[in-house]
A = this chain, B = another copy of it.
């Protein structure tokens, strides 16, 4: 069950809200990038970045010098993950919409200092972007770890919105001779492109070529 706080209470389109934690996990676990919002020098700053989830914690990372992470340490952040599934073509311009699934998480980001948790967070981040790569590629050196900031954000304060299905038109518009429906947006993995300097004859591992 997702909690409701003044920030996560849905002001608009309440019917699109979900209070099922499994929906939250599904939106997060199938995403690649989030948009991290921080307040920097009094103004909002939104940067795309990777993330990973372990249970009730979202992990973010970045260079120890990145401005967005410096602003985020110990301060309030907002992390949003959005999937666009299709364009909803209504009979009126006003009722055009988007089929989407989005999660918004609010909280105070915590800089992770425990080495074990840092590794667990980085593993989750890597596996979110590229499943199977943490064990396949070279793992971080001491120097690389020192250059990486890992932030943790609790999933305690989160909201999920989902829109699916056909357009909702005004009663009087259904008689219009206008086609209406959904144009699905589909994403898929393409054919892996080898690094040009890769030795010839090296097969693409199945965890990459077979990714779904």
Interface residues of A (CB under 8 A from B): 7, 11-12, 32-33, 35-40, 42-48, 50, 63, 65-67, 76-80, 82, 84, 86-87, 89-94, 96, 98, 100, 102, 104, 106, 122, 126, 129-130, 133-134, 136-141, 144, 148, 166-167, 173-174, 176-198, 202-205, 208, 211
Contact = CB atoms under 8 A, between A and B. Distances in A.
Given A45-B37, A134-B93, A139-B93, A186 B189 contact: yes
Contact of A79 (B46, B50, B87): B46
**Max chain B Cβ within 10 angstroms of own Cβ: one of A65, A78, A186, A205:** A78
Contacts of A36: 46
A204 B179 contact: yes
Contacts of A104: 45-47
Contacts of A205: 179
A203 B178 CA distance: 10
Q: How many copies of this protein are present in the complex?
A: 2
Contacts of A198: 179-181
Contact of A184 (B82, B176, B191): B191
Contacts of A211: 183
A45 B39 CA distance: 9
A77 B46 CA distance: 9
Contact of A183 (B35, B102, B181, B190): B190
A137 B92 contact: yes
